[in-house]
Amino acid sequence: MKRGGSEAAKRQAGESAATVVEDGAVVGLGTGSTTAHAIRALGEAVESGLDVQGIPTSYQSRELAREVGVPLTTLDDASPDVAIDGADQAANGDLVKGGGAAHAREKLVADAADRLVIVVDDSKLADALSVPVPVEVLPDARTPVAARISELGGEPDLRAAERKDGPVVTDNGNLVLDCDFGTIDDPVGLATTLSAIPGVVEHGLFVGMADELHVGSADDVTVQRFD
């Protein structure tokens, strides 16, 4: 799926992030069109002799890693030294993720990693988070969770599949509500509230998790670091 800014800007960010991966590292492989550039760059590095193992966060990233020759492992067998992943919006190091419905596994892998490196093109930067927050819900929880989101002042929208009638079903067999809260003034508070709703598997707010942001433009990349 193609989203966000130019492919050149995504490549700048993805290839920059791949350079942080050291020999012998275990790498969390995020999902999406920007991270795909990092995975491809890792594949080339492996071909040149780099020793890495990847932990995929989705069917998509697993298939791409296999295609480009990145050896794979799991969270049962290894702990990531670094995770590389994309974002739908970034503001002051906080993120909205889940445009590809992979945010539950992405958060799991990011949390397990010693270092989270986020790759975005410059169209994703904002002063405050304001894009709809993807909320993965158990199939039976779709209506009650939507009601709770509305009570919180959000507008929930069941994500529809693009090429068939019916909803998107995540790699975990769940549904996604894209929840519009307008500008999010208190990401920590909203993240805590969403996590406490029964039936919510995971939401796409990643607050205070990113260690580095690699921001690509058409011909350059800048790196922001967060403590």
Ligand X SMILES: O=C[C@H](O)[C@H](O)[C@H](O)COP(=O)(O)O
Catalytic residues: 106
Interaction of residue 97 with ligand X, rule CB under 6 A? yes
Interface with ligand X: number of residues (CB under 6 A): 20
Question: Structure tokens of 140?
Answer: 């039976």
The answer to the question of whether 78 is labelled as a binding residue is no
List 18, 25, 80, 88, residue binding ligand X (CB under 6 A)? 88
Q: Scan residues 133-162 and list those touching ligand X (CB under 6 A).
A: none
Which tokens is 152 given? 């919180």
For residues 29 and 45, give the distance between their C-alpha atoms in angstroms, rounded to a whole number. Answer: 15
Q: How far apart are CA 151 and CA 165, in angstroms?
A: 28
85 touches ligand X by CB under 6 A? yes
CA 75 distance to own-chain centroid: 17
Three-state DSSP class for 18? Answer: helix
Longest dimension (CA), the chain: 54
* Closest CB to ligand X among residues 3, 144: 3
Which listed range, 21-29, 95-103, 194-202, 210-218, lies at the site for ligand X (CB under 6 A)? 95-103
> Is 25 assigned a ligand-binding role in the annotation?
no
Residue 173 to residue 154: CA distance in whole angstroms: 24
Binding status of residue 99 toward ligand X by CB under 6 A:
yes
Measured between alpha carbons, how far is 195 from 219 in angstroms, rounded to an integer? Answer: 39
Position 3 contacts ligand X (CB under 6 A): yes
Give the one residue of 33, 61, 89, 170 binding ligand X; rule: CB under 6 A.
Answer: 33
| Binding site residues, ligand X, CB under 6 A | 3-4, 30-35, 85-88, 97-103, 106
